Chains A and B, each alone.
Chain A
Amino acid sequence: MIPGIDFFVPAVYFAAAVMFIYGLKGMSSPVTARSGMIWAGVAMLLAVLVTFIHPKVEGNYLLMVIALVSASALAWWWAKVVAMTDMPQMIALYNGMGGGSAAAIAAVELLKLHSGQAQMVPTTLLVASFGAIIGSIAFSGSLIAYAKLQGWMRKSWRFPGQQVFNLLVFAATIGLGVWIFIDGPTPTLLLLFFSLALLAGVLLTVPIGGADMPVVISLYNALTGLAVGFKGYVLEIPALMIAGIVVGAAGTLLTQLMAKAMNRSLTNVLFAGFGKADEDATGAAASGEMRAIDATDAAIQMAYAEKVIIVPGYGLAVAQAQHKIWELTELLTSRGVKVTFAIHPVAGRMPGHMNVLLAEAGVPYDLIYDLEDINAQFPTTDVALVIGANDVVNPAARKDTSSPIYGMPILDVDRARNCIVVKRGQGTGFSGIENLLFFEDNTRMLYGDAQKVAQALISGIKSLG
Chain B
Amino acid sequence: MEGWIALYIFMLAAFTGIEVIRRVPAILHTPLMSGSNFIHGIVVVGGMVVLGMADTTAEIIVGFIAVFLGAGNAVGGYVVTERMLEMFKSSGAKPEKKD
Binding site for A on B (CB under 8 A): 1, 3, 6, 9-10, 13-18, 20-56, 58-60, 62-94, 97-99
Cβ contact within 8 Å between A364 and B54? no
Of B18, B28, B54, B99, the residue contacting A60 (CB under 8 A) is B54
Please give 7 more A-B residue pairs, beta carbons under 8 A apart, in addition to A33-B88, A47-B45, A247-B37: A16-B42, A29-B25, A95-B40, A108-B50, A240-B45, A242-B16, A251-B36
Distance in angstroms from B1 CB to nearest chain A CB is 5
Distance in angstroms from B30 CB to nearest chain A CB is 4
Chain A 105-132 near chain B by CB (<8 Å), digits 1 or 0: 1011101100101000001000000000
Q: Nearest CB to that of A245 among chain B residues?
A: B13
Q: Chain A, interface size: which category?
A: 35 or more
CA distance in complex: A245, B15 (Å): 9
Which chain A residues lie closer than 8 Å to B17 at the CB level? 24, 245-251, 253
CA distance in complex: A107, B46 (Å): 12
Chain B interface: which of A86-94, A379-387, A414-422, A443-451?
A86-94
Q: Nearest CB to that of A246 among chain B residues?
A: B17
Of A29, A78, A100, A360, the residue contacting B65 (CB under 8 A) is A100
CA distance in complex: A95, B77 (Å): 8
Distance in angstroms from A207 CB to nearest chain B CB is 23
Binding site for B on A (CB under 8 A): 13, 16, 20-21, 23-25, 27-30, 33-34, 36-37, 40-41, 44, 47-48, 51-52, 54, 56-61, 63-64, 66-68, 70-72, 74-76, 78-80, 82, 84, 87-88, 90-91, 93-95, 97-98, 100-102, 104-105, 107-109, 111-112, 115, 117, 123, 187, 217-218, 221, 224-225, 227-229, 231-233, 235-251, 253-254, 257-258, 330, 333, 343, 345, 350-353, 355-356, 359-360, 362, 364-368, 370
User: Per DSSP, are chain B's interface residues mostly helix, strand or loop, or mixed?
Assistant: helix
Cβ contact within 8 Å between B52 and A54? yes
Which chain B residues lie closer than 8 Å to A16 at the CB level? 42
Cβ contact within 8 Å between A56 and B79? no
A28-B24, A64-B48, A108-B50 known; A97 and B72 CB under 8 Å?
yes
Cβ contact within 8 Å between B20 and A21? yes
Distance in angstroms from A190 CB to nearest chain B CB is 10
Cβ contact within 8 Å between A123 and B44? no
Which chain B residues lie closer than 8 Å to A235 at the CB level? 46, 49-50
Q: Nearest CB to that of A367 among chain B residues?
A: B91
CA distance in complex: A91, B54 (Å): 30
Of B20, B46, B52, B93, the residue contacting A250 (CB under 8 A) is B20
Of B35, B42, B77, the residue contacting A228 (CB under 8 A) is B42
CA distance in complex: A94, B63 (Å): 18
Cβ contact within 8 Å between A356 and B40? no
CA distance in complex: A13, B48 (Å): 14
CA distance in complex: A208, B24 (Å): 27
Distance in angstroms from A280 CB to nearest chain B CB is 32
Cβ contact within 8 Å between B80 and A333? no
Q: Nearest CB to that of A121 among chain B residues?
A: B3
Cβ contact within 8 Å between B85 and A241? no
